[in-house]
Structures are given as C-alpha cells and as structure tokens.
Amino acid sequence: MFALLFALGLVAYVQQKSLTIAAARMMPQLGLSQLQLGWLEQAFIIGYAIFQLPGGLLGQRLGARSALTLYGLTAFCAVIATPLLPEYLTGTTLFGALLLAQLLLGLSQGGLFPVSAGVFATWFPARQWSLVEGLGTMGLGLGAALTAPLIATLMVAFGWQQALLWSAAPGLLVTLFWLHYARNTPREHRAVSAAELAELGAMQSASIERRIGWRRLGEILCERNTRLIAGSYLAMNYSFYLLSNWCFLYLLQERHFSVLASGWLAMAPPLASAFGAGLGGVLTMQCCERFGIVHGLRLVPVCALLAAAILLPSATRVGDPYVALAALTLCFGLVELTEGAYWGATIRLGGPYAMIVGGIVNACGNLGGIIGIPIVAYLSGRHRWDLAFLIGSLTALISALIWLGINPTTSATRLVAAQAK
C-alpha cells in the first residue's frame, strides 16, 4: 500500500511539472508569453486548491480505493489533452482549452494527498505517521526530479507533444494497479494478518468515519490548530512553488544554461527535496519520541524554515551559476524537511477525519501557490528574480513563527470525543 501511494505521488508530480519543462518549446511554437504560462500554472493550482476539501470529503465517502482510481483516470485524460489540443485548435480558443485542461488536472489531483493522509492514518501505527508522510513526500520530489531531464530529453528528441504523451502512460498503469490491489482498510485485505491489525490499534477503524454532517465539518474548520497549521502551510508553499516550478526557467533564462543542461541541472533541487522529505520524516519521528509530540513536531519545521529564510535570497546574489544552483538545492531540501511534521500533525489533528483536515490544510497550502505563481511570473518576466526570492524568504520566516503556536494533540482529543458522542 505504501509503495502504491509512493508511486501515485511520483507520477502525479511528473504530470504536474511536465508543463513547466515543455514550456521552453511550447511558448514559441504556440505563441504563448511567460505571463500566459503563469496563467496555465495558475489554472492547475486553482483546480488543485479548490478540490482539496471536496476531494477529501469524497474520499471519506467513497473510500480510498474508488476515489484514487477516479482521480487517477481523470488526471490521465487531462494530461494527454494538453499535447493533443494544438492539433485541432489555435489562438485564443487553444489557450482557453489549455486552461481548462490544466484546471481539470488540478481538480483530478486535488484529492490525492488528503485521501493519502487518510490511508496512512488507517494503515500505519500513530508513531509512524510523520515517517510515512515524509517518505511518501519523497516520491513527489523524485517525480519532480525525474520530470526535468525526462521531458527535456524527450522534447529534444521528439518534440514537446510526444514528450507529454509518453510521460502520461505510467500514471495510467499505476492507477489500474491501485484499483486491482488496494483496499480501503487493513481488515478488508486478505494479506493483512491478525498481528498486524493488533499493532495498528483502534485508529485503523476510527479513521474511516464516513458520515460527515455540516456541524462536524464546521467544528473541524473552526479548530484553532487547524487554522494555524493551514496558515503556516500556506506561507511555506510560496517558497515551495517558487523552487518547484521555476528552477528550470531560472537556470535557462537568468543563468543562461541550455535547454538540455537546464533540464539535467534542474534535477538537483527536487532530488534534495526528496531526500529532505524522507530525512524530515525520520527526524520528526525521532524528535517526537525524545521530546514529546508537541515539541517533536515543532522542532524540525522551525529550524528548517528559519535556515531556508536566511539562505534563499543568496541564490540570486552570487555570481557563479553553480553556486546559485547549490543554494537553490539546499533551500529546497530544507523546505521539504518539514513535510513529515506538517502531515503527521495533520493526521493527529484530524483523527477519524484525517482526509478532511488534510483537504483543508492542503487547500490553504496551495493557496500559497495561487498567490505566488502570478507574482513570480510577473517578476521573472521583468528579470526581478531577486525580489521573487526575497518574498520567499519572508514567507518561510512567517511559516516558522506560526509553528510555535501549534498543538495538534488537543484538537485530536476533541474531535475523537465528538465522534464518540
């Protein structure tokens, strides 16, 4: 189950990030400006953000097996639409259709991570939640790292349309295998032993609560800690989307590497993010065991985000392009050290409603992308990358400070008590 969720996250990020790499050839061929590219990315983020909570609710209602199958098949259709649309449309009509395709891709992937949080809550002991979330996020970083050289190489050899078509196939295969193998709960899977069910404890049954009324949803939304972690995740995700979506074009436009060289060099930041996410999951689990849940969850994100805030502006100030790449790489690794803590806290916040709280948190996180992408598109189009990175430094600092007020254990207690009533 973990391997399948890992693979689903990896292919989702290949699907998400392919457009920013293919844009180097798409923009001149289709007559698109950098600002229009920003709007295409914005369409994805808008769809992705607005379907987080509905995606979590639908996952809670349908079960993870059906919901993730539906999301995966829809994402595949949206991905292959982008390279096919220019064969039939031109001009404003084409741009509008591309916007709709990106919006549909965002909608289809919006429920993936909230539902995954519910699966982790159901299939793993509580002490491992930060660990598996961190390691799961590693798959996202590996997908992002794979995308740049994969799409750049295919694009140079076959053109951007063929590159996007071929890169869509693994997503379909993984989705179909998920449908074949996955089950909603460990009790439903014949490969799970009685000893494994005993190790999971009570949460493996409490985490699949499916009857969600408006009152209960309001209680979840009004929880102080839900708002705090969602606000912190929002601020952090400006830096995340800056580093995730724009490194390739920064290296190409500002540091003057070639398309192929930028594709391969752009692997470094997401590889660091993958390593950082996995390491962050391990460190957060160890900190929780040593310092307790509250301080253990805070320690890694506060330290990592403060370090990223200090380092991020230096990427545009150094003269050597390889030193700038090293700074970006380290920053992305630091930012992603926090994922295990964010999502481990989210599962603890939600308890039996982990998919819903995950949807709220990730919706706010992607609001950071909705706010940040047009800012970066506007500033980068005017070669003001320095200002774009300085804003990232400020948002990382804000995100770290908010963590000082987060206590996920109190919210989980209230929600479980409310469920019992």
% of the chain beyond a pLDDT of 70: 90
Q: Which of 155, 101, 134, 157 is nearest to 6 (CA)?
A: 134
Cα(390)–Cα(370) distance, rounded to whole angstroms? 18
pLDDT score of 208 = 52
| Least confident segment among 214-228, 282-296, 298-312, 402-416 | 402-416
pLDDT score of 98 = 93
Return the exposure string of 354-373: e unless at least 16 CB atoms fall within 10 Å of the residue's CB, then b: bbbbbbbbbbbbbbbbbbbb
Token pair in block for residue 239: 């830096």
- No. of H helices and E strands in the chain? 20, 0
The sign one gets for the Cα dihedral 343, 346, 351, 355 is negative
Whether 207 is in a domain gets the answer no
Query: What one-character DSSP code corresponds to residue 313?
Result: G
The sign one gets for the Cα dihedral 374, 364, 129, 353 is negative
Q: Is the distance from CB of 350 to CB of 120 less than 8 angstroms?
A: no
Whether 190 is in a domain gets the answer no
Length of the chain: 421
pLDDT score of 102 = 93
CB burial class (10 A; 0-12, 13-18, 19+) of residue 156? middle
Structural domain for 314, as ranges: 2-184+215-420
Cα(175)–Cα(79) distance, rounded to whole angstroms? 14
pLDDT score of 67 = 95
Cα(321)–Cα(148) distance, rounded to whole angstroms? 18
Higher pLDDT, 208 or 277: 277
Q: How many CB atoms lie within 10 A of CB 25?
A: 18
Whether 209 is in a domain gets the answer no
Residue 202: pLDDT band by 50, 70, 90 thresholds? low
Residue 105: pLDDT band by 50, 70, 90 thresholds? very high
pLDDT score of 258 = 67
Q: Is the distance from CB of 342 to CB of 351 less than 8 angstroms?
A: no
User: What integer is the mean pLDDT of 145-167?
Assistant: 85
For 221-243, the pLDDT digits (tens) are: 778 888 999 999 999 999 888 88
Amino acid at 81: A
Average pLDDT, the chain: 85
Where do we find the tokens 């140079």?
A: 156
Where do we find the tokens 């998400």?
A: 16
Q: How many CB atoms lie within 10 A of CB 66?
A: 15
Token pair in block for residue 170: 């693994």
Amino acid at 61: R
For 393-418, the pLDDT digits (tens) are: 999 999 999 999 998 876 544 544 44
Whether 34 is in a domain gets the answer yes
For 320-372, the pLDDT digits (tens) are: 778 888 888 899 899 999 999 998 998 888 877 888 888 889 888 888 888 88
Residue 376: pLDDT band by 50, 70, 90 thresholds? confident
For 57-88, the pLDDT digits (tens) are: 899 888 999 999 999 999 999 999 999 999 89
Flag whether pLDDT at 31 surpasses 90. no
Q: Is the distance from CB of 388 to CB of 376 less than 8 angstroms?
A: yes
Whether 115 is in a domain gets the answer yes
Token pair in block for residue 353: 């409603």
pLDDT score of 309 = 93
- For residue 300, the domain's CATH number is 1.20.1250.20
How many domains does the structure of the chain reveal? 1
Whether 307 is in a domain gets the answer yes
Whether 340 is in a domain gets the answer yes
Q: Is the distance from CB of 365 to CB of 343 less than 8 angstroms?
A: no
Higher pLDDT, 138 or 212: 138
pLDDT score of 93 = 93
Amino acid at 197: L
Q: Which of 172, 168, 202, 170 is nearest to 185 (CA)?
A: 202
User: What integer is the mean pLDDT of 107-131?
Assistant: 90
Whether 397 is in a domain gets the answer yes
